Structure 1
């Protein structure tokens, strides 16, 4: 099973690219973030024509998440974080072929010390409680998405700039991420690759993609039960090179059947 995560940064704009990538890369399951569409505008018919069933949770202009599955039923759908009052469409979960998929679009946080930063930390704490429960009920768990956290120095171009006081790399954000791993999750990429410079997001400005000045903030985490089933993992930079691309590239993991 090939499972991918892609922040498409507007599905209304990127639908042709998504359909092309689905045909080329042929993932079995995909978590999308920043669809930026209300549910009644989600292109489920077009995706079904491309061979993918879909479930989604969206809102106008901002946020929005979805799970797609190729030739597989999508079951036991959970929209939003249970018990957490949140008007923003940032979380969705479903089961596909016995694997529980949790798709997250983590809050950006704007800047350290702001209200949006405090909201991010509250949101991550709520996710921690949710994932603890999901792991109890679903040993085969994959948590994926745009985490808006670069886990360590290998995931940034300059650790002196992206430091303990910087948004996306601050001490509190990284500690919250480590608390998620401590539940029994593993960073899929780091099971197979220890290199630095393996980024998934590049700013549109300053030729950042060409210069590989990016961040790794799109992650695929696997539960302890699935750790030894990870055959391959990577980041598909190809769509980032297309015309009018998303600023993110898909992160993916392939599991033994």
Structure 2
């Protein structure tokens, strides 16, 4: 089974990119972030036409998350992250797909930092860690996938010294990610590629993609009940070079079938 996460950066404007990648990559399950479309503008019909069922939680202009499944049913569990009933950002959705729980998240960016946006990022991270701990206590197969907006280590960024004043690389954000993984999750990319410089995002400015001046922001974390099935993981970085591409590339894992 192939599971992917992809910050699409505007699903309707980049629908041709998404459909092309789905046809070429043939992922079974996909987590999408930054739909940038209200719920009623999600292109469900176009995805259904090529065999993908979907659940989604949209938001006008910003945020928005979705889970796609090829020729499989999805049972939505929740479309908000627990812990703050006043948080109206569309950043989290969770579903049962087959015999696993798939959680799609879009963590806040946090810039400019320090400030209220960074405080919101850390508060959101705290809620995520609490919910992730609960999911682990259930002892079921879980994939926690999405755009975490965190550069975990210096290995995950081109010229880390240039990012020391950015919320993506602040010590508090990196510690929050490390603490999350430390609960017992497996960072799929780092597990299989411990020393390889791998990026999932390249800015549109300064020819970042052409220079491979990237960041690793998109992660798939696996619970202990599913991690032993991990056999491959990678990034479809070529997609970033397509016409009208997102500034992120799809990240994927391959699991042994049960």
TM-score normalised by L of structure 1: 0.97
Q: Which residue of 2 aligns with 1:149?
A: 150
User: Unpaired segments of 5 or more residues in structure 2?
Assistant: none
1:201 counterpart SS class: coil
1:90-123 CA deviation, whole Å, 9 max, x = no partner? 0001111111111110000013211000000000
User: Unpaired segments of 5 or more residues in structure 1?
Assistant: none
1:121 counterpart SS class: helix
Q: Which residue of 1 aligns with 2:163?
A: 162
| 1:100–1:138 CA contact under 8 A, matched in 2 | no
1:189-211 CA deviation, whole Å, 9 max, x = no partner? 01111234310000001110010
1:215 counterpart SS class: coil
Indicate whether 1:2 and 2:2 are aligned: yes
Q: Which residue of 2 aligns with 1:140?
A: 141
1:33-71 CA deviation, whole Å, 9 max, x = no partner? 000111111111111001100000011000000000001
Alignment of 1:98-247 (within 5 A): 98-163=99-164, 165-247=165-247
Alignment of 1:31-50 (within 5 A): 31-50=31-50
1:2-53 CA deviation, whole Å, 9 max, x = no partner? 0000000000111111111111000000000000111111111111001100
Report how far residue 138 of structure 1 moved.
Answer: 4.9
| 2:110–2:120 CA contact under 8 A, matched in 1 | yes
CA–CA distance in structure 2, aligned partners of residues 89 and 189 of structure 1:
26
Q: Which residue of 2 aligns with 1:92?
A: 93
CA–CA distance in structure 1, aligned partners of residues 40 and 76 of structure 2:
21
CA–CA distance in structure 2, aligned partners of residues 55 and 84 of structure 1:
22
Alignment of 1:73-84 (within 5 A): 73-84=73-84
| 1:19–1:47 CA contact under 8 A, matched in 2 | yes
TM-score normalised by L of structure 2: 0.96
Runs of 4+ in 1 over 4 A off after TM superposition: none
Q: How many residues align?
A: 256
Report how far residue 81 of structure 1 moved.
Answer: 0.7
Residues 169, 196 of structure 1: alpha-carbon distance in 2 compared, 3 angstrom cutoff: farther
| 1:202–1:215 CA contact under 8 A, matched in 2 | yes
CA–CA distance in structure 2, aligned partners of residues 252 and 145 of structure 1:
11
